[in-house]
Chain A
Amino acid sequence: MKNWTCNRHRRRLGAYLDDELSQRARGVLRRHLQECASCRSELAALQRLQPALTASEAPPVPPELAAGILAAARDHKIRRPEPVTSPLSWWRLAPARLQVAAVGMLIIGLALGLLMGTASAPSYLPSATVAQSDPLDVYQVEYLTELPSESLAGGYLALVSIPNLGGR
């Protein structure tokens, strides 16, 4: 039990040192540290890490770095992200006259299609007629009557031949 508690607290010791814990979490951890010598020792070891890491200095900036960057910048061609091409981008690029003509053609085409569609539309049988007709005629399965009644086709035939009660 103690090990589990210690592990849980030890994971947050770094954040405790960095002053990154909430006030409540900080209070809980501080109380645990007062009671636990092992975790205090862990905290002390973490504290010694900072001076060990920062003991050596980074090498100084190379004197030619800035000049190199500026020279590269002068010759640099600005790289811009590729613009996202929309499927309708051609439309924006088209001249206004072309846009008007295209819209006009579309409207005429739709009107013609509507006109021709209503003139030649097939006349469907009313639902009542379908329901009252002979299923063999409606489904055009008359040829199945020649097959034995116990076959799969016969079963299908019996199924489609059941009178439609809703059509009465």
Chain B
Amino acid sequence: MLRFAAEGADLPEFKERDEALMVAVGKGDLNAFEQIVQRHQTWVWRIAVRFLGNEDEASDIAQESFLRLLDAAGRYRPTAKFRTYFYQIISRLCLDCAKKKQPSTLGVIPDMIDPGPNAADQMVKEEQGARVRAALRSLAPNQRLAIVLRYYEDLNYKEIAAAMQTTTRAVERLLARGRERLRMILGEKNDFNDS
């Protein structure tokens, strides 16, 4: 049975690191797990909601990601960087989820644009945001994930490759195709083409 009890690693400098928390979680310490949830829920949620375009599904995937992390904690070795490890979990879950559902069932994220100086500006931004989300949804799942990790999480190609368990060259190709399609969809109104 899992329990809330502090059983972290002994070294103070190691104690607060994610890797140390994972080791503690592996020993059944749910306090350490709670710290991991508090630290990482934002970016996990952000990837899921950007990728899936639906808040309910994003919540489910975020929760499932943390539970998978809990399952894997006993086998986790601190030699693997925690973030890389977690990116792999969330990436796999997102891609599996996309495989299971039809593109038409993709929901729509409510617009979360900061209130502008006037309503007209806000409406324009909302419209742009909705078009970007629709364009993202039209991408193939692996292209979409590469775009989300690159543009919203600011990962480099090596990190994206590790998360998606592929090569940097494959990431470059996914991003190139994804960008091309995004430009094609967003191009007209956003005036992406100079010519």
Instruction: Report the interface size for chain A: residues with CB under 8 A from the other chain.
Output: 37
- 30 A-B contacts (beta carbon < 8 Å): A15-B172, A18-B157, A18-B175, A20-B156, A38-B195, A49-B182, A49-B183, A52-B132, A54-B151, A54-B152, A56-B111, A58-B49, A59-B55, A61-B41, A61-B45, A61-B46, A65-B41, A65-B59, A65-B62, A66-B37, A68-B63, A69-B41, A69-B62, A70-B30, A73-B66, A73-B67, A73-B70, A78-B70, A78-B71, A78-B74
- Within 8 Å of chain A (Cβ to Cβ): is B194? yes
- Within 8 Å CB of A44, what residues of B? 194
5 nearest A-B pairs in the assembled complex, by CB-CB distance: A56-B129, A41-B194, A45-B192, A61-B45, A79-B71
Q: Are A50 and B151 in contact (CB under 8 A)?
A: yes
B71 nearest in chain A by CB position: A79
- Within 8 Å CB of A24, what residues of B? none
- The prevalent SS among residues of B at the interface is helix
Report how far A108 CA is from B183 CA in the complex, Å. Answer: 79
Q: Are B38 and A58 in contact (CB under 8 A)?
A: no
**Chain B interface size, under 10 / 10 to 19 / 20 to 34 / 35 or more:** 35 or more
A18-B150, A78-B71 given; 18 more Cβ-contact pairs under 8 Å: A20-B168, A45-B192, A45-B194, A48-B190, A52-B186, A53-B132, A56-B112, A56-B126, A59-B55, A60-B112, A61-B41, A65-B59, A66-B38, A72-B63, A73-B2, A73-B66, A76-B2, A76-B70
A24 to chain B, nearest CB (A): 16
Report how far A50 CA is from B154 CA in the complex, Å. Answer: 11
Q: Are B55 and A62 in contact (CB under 8 A)?
A: yes
- Interface positions of B from 124 to 168, Cβ below 8 Å from A: 125-126, 128-129, 132-133, 136, 147, 150-152, 156-157, 168
- The prevalent SS among residues of A at the interface is helix
B136 to chain A, nearest CB (A): 8
- Within 8 Å CB of A11, what residues of B? 176
Known pairs A53-B151, A78-B70; A41 contacts B128 (CB<8 A): no
- Within 8 Å CB of B129, what residues of A? 55-56
Q: Are A59 and B59 in contact (CB under 8 A)?
A: no
B114 nearest in chain A by CB position: A57
Report how far A49 CA is from B178 CA in the complex, Å. Answer: 11
- Within 8 Å CB of B84, what residues of A? none
